[in-house]
Structure 1
């Protein structure tokens, strides 16, 4: 599923900008030990993603190296891009879908966790994640939606990215964060904190976005039409930083998740 995951990460980046993908370029460097069947499976994953999300595969390059390296580049178009620096005081903070599945999947795969009776959605989160392309394109058409980012680096990391870029204070209601029931069940079976799975795991391709309160009903109705769950998880104030609002009041939210070029 390497090909699918490579392509879907690019689709998700465009979805967060409200853009429609046009074409994809892929570069693959392989070792002599990698057999042709495995190479073809990588390209099949890309082709499957292209078929589902409606973009062309323009081409790319293949070469030999000491280790397998695969990277992709996708081009898309939008009339109104959504940026992470558009957050305004008074905005609502909303999120699509449910969280925690990818964190559960990585724990199960990498640390040999105890499985639950129904692992289907957990497996899908790891091997065939979906991008919220249709949602992103709809959000970009609404003037009341001010910013968006995907959760490939994790919810806590993405919230901090928004706060820094927009120089605002984000307050997230702990109990409002939507956690998948399978993630809750997996966390219980493995003595894990489900909130940490939702906040810090990364590789979640849901969309985090902010909007004017007056725009919420329109967004909710549009999402109902396309079958996407959306949840308001917090609000924006003047200030700086990211905070969790729980039973004991506000506390700073630690920034975890994937950080590029971190030592």
Structure 2
């Protein structure tokens, strides 16, 4: 048990360092650089080098102040890392938000109009055009848009498609299905969920860098690149998570029904059976 706890603590420390302290230390270093260079000397590398040399000389052969400074830097890096994680949570909430209506509704209407035009073109298409037109429509959303962002619709679409296919409401069915999933399936889903969180956190870092640009303009460029990469990673992670969720339902929804003693005459879960399961899971809610 002691060996297990030691290994667990080691892994937690490594993850803590990788996700919070190291990126926070880089940001703290850029803050110090920005405070020294400002906008006027934004690219003054010699000025920055002289400053670093001065700090190094000031703490040379002074181990106690140097240790205190190192501890302060670590604490500052952790604080900034936690701030970025909070910003990432806000980014993730924005990605999946349905409102506020005054802001979301125009965006939803715009995305929905594009999707409906693509859907109508698909329905009128000849056989040879179906694949390309279906890809064009699905690039907007797999289901009729109801969220202002692509990521929000992609995550929501998994539940819509499952409800359409099986009559099952994932909000109530997923906790029951989770208990029946194989370990590898759970691990893949957790990894996809973690990738989405990391992408949102990276986008949060981008926002912090852009904010630093008020003092040092090169930080704006770094923030835009970091935010764009995080946003792209978020799209990939959301698509992966939605696909894995649908796959888990496709492969194990029959196990769920059979575990509850539901007879499957056609050896599949029909929408009627799914609605029956949903009502049972709701318990009148």
TM bucket normalised to smaller: under 0.3
More strand by share: 1
TM-score with structure 1 length normalisation?
0.27
TM-score with structure 2 length normalisation?
0.26
Higher relative contact order (CA 8 A, sep 6+): 1
